[in-house]
Structure 1
Amino acid sequence: MPFALASCSIGLPKHTLHQKIEAIRHAGFDGIELSFPDLQSYANLHFGRDIAEDDYDTLCEAGQAARQLVERHNLKIFVLQPFSNFEGWPEGSEKRKDAFARARGWIRIMEAVGTDMLQVGSSDSEGIATDPDLVAADLQELADMLAEKGFKLAPNVGLCLDTFQSAGGEWGDPTTESGRIETPAITEMELSVRYRASLKELAETVPVDKIFFFQISDAYKAQPPLEDKPDTESGLRPRGRWSHDYRPLPYDGGYLPIEQFAKAVLDTGFKGWFSVEVFDGKFEEKFGQDLNKYAEKAIDSCKELLSKAKETQ
């Protein structure tokens, strides 16, 4: 099973893509998720000036150089991410026109960096359609654009499963003292039973060929719990804040039931990319400037999670 690390999940803002790649390879990873902000920062450094996010000619040139850098370190860019706020905009709107212009630009970048997979995050922006048929139609159009190049997004549409989003969404809650979902209608035991039933359904019904990759992270229990309202500074809702800064490596201070989720994914027969995507607000406190130490701990966490998931009943 190949192991990967998202470029956005290692280091501090001052660390370069080259420094990140060296640490990732030193630890023994097989590939990376290439984050668009890391590519843009690499382009800024490569050309000695600020490169706009829609300067696709220049970004593609930088992407070709980044691909060479990654390949020299015997790594693979297996996905470009995060392509967000795409689906659901009203027909004829400027937002929709911009979304499809970005799609065309990102597809060019995919060619430049040598990857055939684009990660499309679910959009929660204001003003988008909530009708599943409209959202599906946009994703189908994007899939068709990707298919022209032989890229994946339907035989070419698949899932990115994620320990944090699933265990955190179905079991965890950053606004409660216990760190789990609490409602008058469900006891702790009932929550556990419901979570296990969901995992059983995943293992039995999700086709393995539709799982394109598996992202792993954990979550800190928020202490004190986050207020159940948008943050006054960032505007993020509690789960958004939790995702943004409270996601450590597995076995590094988190508490979610991620081993059970990993077992369910493995029970589908999945043997694809096992990829670390974390957002740890305590990175500098824990690891300082030592990217090698962090990358080594990251790959150890992959191996430990894989081993313990196989043992989980």
Structure 2
Amino acid sequence: MVTLRPSIMSASLGRAWLHDFDAKAHQASKHGFEGIEIFYEDLEHLAKRLTSKETPDGEDILQAARHVHETCTREKLEIIGLQPFLFYEGLVDRSQHARLIEKIHLWFRIAKELQTTIIQIPANFLPADQVTTDINVIVEDLRQLADLGLKESPPIRFVYENLCWSTVNDTWDSAWDVVKRVDRSNFGICLDTFNIAGRVWADPTSPTGKTPNADADLEASLQKMIQEVELEKVFYIQFVDAERLAVPLDETHPFHVPGQPPRMSWSRNARTFAYETDRGAYLPVEKVAKAIIDGLGYQGWVSLELFSRTMAEEGEQVPYEHAKRGMASWKKFQERVQSN
């Protein structure tokens, strides 16, 4: 029997500035989730509420982290990680790199207050003129973080994730290449069904919603993953889908944001939980997940990381609805995994 544990990201349950964190945690627990990823935005907005400050400082964020840990303990939710440590690796502006090295020390303290050992780093998606393509610089930047994390007690682990719109490392295999090159025991990868399928198989700017050779390219990509990825470096996985847009995401689309990559606009507005065909879910995310679980032999946390315009709806029912939808998706996935 494969051991998988359901988790959800705090932001998947509603926007921080609209929906109370304690209410979101309660709904996650009530609906059967065992773990939760903490989104930094939740800490920031909670700190504003707790201190009545418009711009909370580091100590305020730490106070919010303590509150979050107490809440999750009460709700019997394990905090599996803190994210996202944004716009870090490969910066052309090295002074900004130095500022982020200072910032990571605060994040180490936050992780300790949350009693988690994982910090997630999404592959940089700043504009191309702000990020180098020099793989050696990217790797050395991330190795620097990993080495700092190893000095912590307990050591901090970093999980690197390609986003399907990242500036340089937008595929799982380019992110995996970075992980191999960093070559540190505390530096691994997050494999996300949306970001994998959303890059190699899907294209929101296409009338078909797919890339030209979608099925063949995905099959080749997953076979490569099974052959190359080292299981011990997969720190956790994320399982979520997205809707096929009625019309291509071009400059006239309601989701279009000038200067924003189309896949990012799509991600921010139109993710769904897996199997929500009534909401337009269409990615082959089950196939991706099974390649990770059956092909690689993955066991552990499966996080349902949702971004969607539905999270910005107002009302106390929003966390309830998202938790309910997420658990329905998870239960169906469990059934599908066990039946095959």
Partner of 2:322: 294
Higher mean alpha-carbon deviation, 27-36 vs 95-104, is at 95-104
Aligned equivalents of 2:63 and 2:310: distance in 1?
A: 34
Partner of 2:79: 77
Cα deviation 1:200-244 (Å, max 9, x = unaligned)? 221232111111111111111122111179977453111110111
Cα deviation 1:156-204 (Å, max 9, x = unaligned)? 011111111001111000011111013xxx4xxxx31221121122123
Identity of aligned residues (%): 29
What is the correspondence of 1:134-145 to structure 2 with a 5 Å cutoff?
134-145=137-148
Aligned equivalents of 1:108 and 1:286: distance in 2?
A: 32
Aligned equivalents of 2:205 and 2:34: distance in 1?
A: 37
Determine whether 1:180 maps to 2:210.
Answer: yes
Cα deviation 1:228-268 (Å, max 9, x = unaligned)? 79977453111110111110111123100111101101021
Q: TM-score of the superposition, structure 1-length normalised?
A: 0.90
Question: Cα distance 1:47–1:120, how it changes in 2: closer, same or farther (>3 A)?
Answer: same
Aligned equivalents of 2:271 and 2:227: distance in 1?
A: 28
Equivalent position to 2:290, from 248, 263, 269: 263
Aligned equivalents of 2:222 and 2:328: distance in 1?
A: 25
Aligned equivalents of 2:287 and 2:53: distance in 1?
A: 47
Question: Cα distance 1:228–1:51, how it changes in 2: closer, same or farther (>3 A)?
Answer: closer
What is the correspondence of 1:152-231 to structure 2 with a 5 Å cutoff?
152-153=157-158, 154-182=184-212, 186=213, 191-227=214-250
Equivalent position to 2:150, from 128, 147, 150: 147
Which stretches of structure 1, 4 residues or more, deviate above 3 A after TM superposition?
A: 228-234, 282-288, 309-312
Aligned equivalents of 2:304 and 2:24: distance in 1?
A: 14
Structure 2 segments unaligned to the other structure (5+ residues) = 159-183
Structure 1 segments unaligned to the other structure (5+ residues) = none
Q: TM-score of the superposition, structure 2-length normalised?
A: 0.83
Cα deviation 1:71-126 (Å, max 9, x = unaligned)? 111111110001110111247x3211222122122111111111100000100213
Partner of 1:11: 14
Question: Cα distance 1:41–1:287, how it changes in 2: closer, same or farther (>3 A)?
Answer: closer
Aligned equivalents of 1:233 and 1:261: distance in 2?
A: 29
Higher mean alpha-carbon deviation, 299-308 vs 277-286, is at 277-286
Partner of 2:28: 24
Tell me, yes or no, if the aligned pair for 2:256 and 2:265 is still in contact at 8 Å.
no
Q: CA deviation at 1:35?
A: 0.3
Equivalent position to 1:50, from 32, 54, 73: 54
Equivalent position to 2:261, from 220, 223, 237: 237
Cα deviation 1:116-144 (Å, max 9, x = unaligned)? 00000100213221111110000000001
Higher mean alpha-carbon deviation, 135-144 vs 193-202, is at 193-202
Partner of 1:303: 331
- Report the residue type matching 1:210 in the other structure: K
Q: CA RMSD in A?
A: 2.2
Question: Cα distance 1:263–1:11, how it changes in 2: closer, same or farther (>3 A)?
Answer: same
Corresponding residue pairs, total: 302
Tell me, yes or no, if the aligned pair for 2:256 and 2:262 is still in contact at 8 Å.
no
Question: Cα distance 1:32–1:194, how it changes in 2: closer, same or farther (>3 A)?
Answer: same
